[in-house]
A and B are shown apart, each in its own frame.
Chain A
């Protein structure tokens, strides 16, 4: 089976990646300039207290043993304790992850809805005014500093025109719906809380669009390139010669085939999305992983930073594996080899 032959090396790579991240984060947290024991115990701790803290953290043992313990803890889902919130990092991440996923999903949805048609139009009317505009928009998206774009939109839509909220997930005074999935948009609907739903929609528009904009540029560019490839194919000429309507040719013949190479791009776009989310969340005070990690960076909360790095990396690798699988399923040429 072709698919297993492709999947098995990927799974082996995945194993190495997880091990690699663990080595990297372990090295980084042991590379910190300054003594973690002192950071926890505080500046004025006595030598005896420091020694105790060090023993509790296992810092007095050999490095190899420390690493074994670290890996063992990781395998049990223990990412350590945050120095700032004094809670297990894993629990913190569980609290903040849904908000990020919700924002990311909405942004990806917006990016695809805007980017795909723009890319198609750009390719169909190549070198025309529509193409020039679409290319300019997509270059703008790719070159946009996300954090600055967010600030500008907050200034315009929140401060100046006062039509959209500029921070948070819900308006003040609205009680958050009970947590089921952690996605406010879903939870509020499940509980029939339309006030909360509307407020959540209202709050996600700006950050969602900011995060979508950069990815939209990448998607437009990719769709345009692969559409141009496909539109040159013989079967498109045949279809045109048979007198099919242009819309039919573009959407049923060309776009379907142009989408296949774009699936791989989706996996890569998720990396951008993750990084964009960190910045967008900071700007919009969105209570997600991004805000969590930036606050952790500012307070030098290393267990939290490394926990985020591990979870984000593993999630990224897993999603890319799934994307590659989808690619194989979508492309009959690969499926049948």
Chain B
């Protein structure tokens, strides 16, 4: 009994501290969102886009690929909110379906570059030595180059398609994550709990999986959220210059590109898909900024 006694209150207070810190965090989140209404706006936008992606067949009033030659290039009206294109497809429906290609591509780009980058970064940090040096110098070289020009060259070489442009952008985005993950790994490696685990004979893989990765993730996730907005723009831009999604696909960049030749007389064709790009990128940036401010202790006091 006397042996258990002192541990019990300690354990319960630890649990209490934990729940308190969670409720504190929630409260803090609420407080911050109220203080920065822009973050809330961003979150609302992302929610809207998610609904568009998941429920496109329900939300879209028409089939996005249904051609109707009698309804060519109609201006926005109650029947066609965003007007119609040169073969009479409903642009509102095409923009809604376009969210799948555009945001899906952006999400995949961030996911690929994050996973590969974190893998390489953690590996490099754990292994150390000449391998680490070689990997990091290589990343320095890639980071020193203008990422977009490189992505354009890569996408052009791979051949124009949505998948190839995704791959190209993902590749040039990898080094940023490698650097971040490696830095996290290096600082975590020296922490007492990691050293203790090593003393108990845990394998490097075990340490990486259960001690380093979970602790390294939060700055990486912030980076990924902030990246998302930029990547939506880049993916759309590559489609616009003809390197990404090809015309019959509903993709925002490709829609702006095909609407471009009608700009002077049928302004709605290019305007609405572009507006979708702007609003989505803005939502991602606002939320990314919000999360960063929340996690950055330097900014908390302000």
Contact = CB atoms under 8 A, between A and B. Distances in A.
A228 B298 CA distance: 11
A140 B282 contact: yes
A152 interface: yes
B145 A21 contact: yes
A145 B282 contact: no
A297 B238 CA distance: 11
A313 B149 contact: yes
Interface SS of chain B: helix
A309 B124 CA distance: 29
Interface string A298-332: 10101001101100110011001000000000000
Interface in A232-268: none
Interface residues of B, number: 48
Nearest to B277: A145
A21 to B, nearest CB: 6
A140 B38 CA distance: 12
A147 B256 contact: yes
Contacts of A135: 38
Contact of A143 (B147, B233, B271): B233
Contact of B38 (A21, A25, A136, A143): A136
Given A20-B141, A135-B38, A320-B144, A297 B243 contact: yes
B69 interface: no
Nearest to B233: A145
B244 to A, nearest CB: 12
A105 B38 CA distance: 32
A11 interface: no
B302 A228 contact: yes
A28 B153 CA distance: 8
B154 A28 contact: yes
Interface stretch (B71-79, B178-186, B259-267): B259-267
Given A13-B141, A20-B141, A279-B241, A142 B157 contact: no
Nearest to B280: A143
Nearest to A294: B241
Interface in B10-45: 38
B285 A139 contact: yes
Interface stretch (A39-47, A52-60, A197-205, A270-278): A270-278
A159 interface: yes
A17 B142 CA distance: 8
A154 B145 contact: no
B27 to A, nearest CB: 20
A34 to B, nearest CB: 9
Given A136-B38, A151-B256, A294-B241, A317 B274 contact: no
B145 A145 contact: no
B148 A145 contact: no
B286 A139 contact: yes
Interface string B242-284: 1100000000010010001001100100110011011001101
**In this complex, which of B137, B147, B236, B241 has the most chain A Cβ atoms within 10 angstroms of its Cβ?**
B241
Interface in B118-137: 137
A1 interface: no
Contact of B263 (A21, A155, A282, A302): A155
A299 B141 CA distance: 29
B147 A300 contact: no
Interface in B143-159: 144-150, 152-154, 156-159
B240 interface: yes
Nearest to A296: B156
B229 interface: yes
Given A13-B141, A25-B153, A274-B148, A147 B281 contact: no
A29 B241 contact: no
A157 interface: no
A309 to B, nearest CB: 4
A175 interface: no
Contact of A13 (B144, B150, B157, B285): B144
Contacts of A20: 138, 141-142, 145
A2 interface: no
Given A29-B157, A31-B157, A151-B263, A144 B278 contact: yes
B145 A313 contact: yes
A309 B153 contact: yes
A14 B159 CA distance: 30
A146 B256 CA distance: 11
3 smallest beta-carbon distances between A and B, as pairs: A148-B274, A143-B281, A275-B148
18 contacts: A20-B145, A28-B157, A31-B157, A31-B158, A126-B302, A143-B284, A144-B281, A145-B236, A145-B274, A145-B281, A147-B253, A151-B263, A271-B148, A297-B152, A297-B156, A297-B241, A313-B146, A320-B144
Interface of A: 13-14, 16-17, 20-21, 24-25, 28-29, 31-33, 126, 132, 135-136, 139-140, 142-149, 151-152, 154-155, 159, 228, 271, 274-275, 278-279, 282, 293-294, 297-298, 300, 302, 305-306, 308-309, 312-313, 316-317, 320
Given A20-B145, A313-B145, A316-B149, 16 more contacts: A25-B153, A28-B153, A136-B38, A139-B285, A140-B278, A145-B233, A145-B237, A148-B270, A148-B275, A271-B148, A275-B149, A294-B242, A305-B153, A309-B150, A313-B149, A320-B144
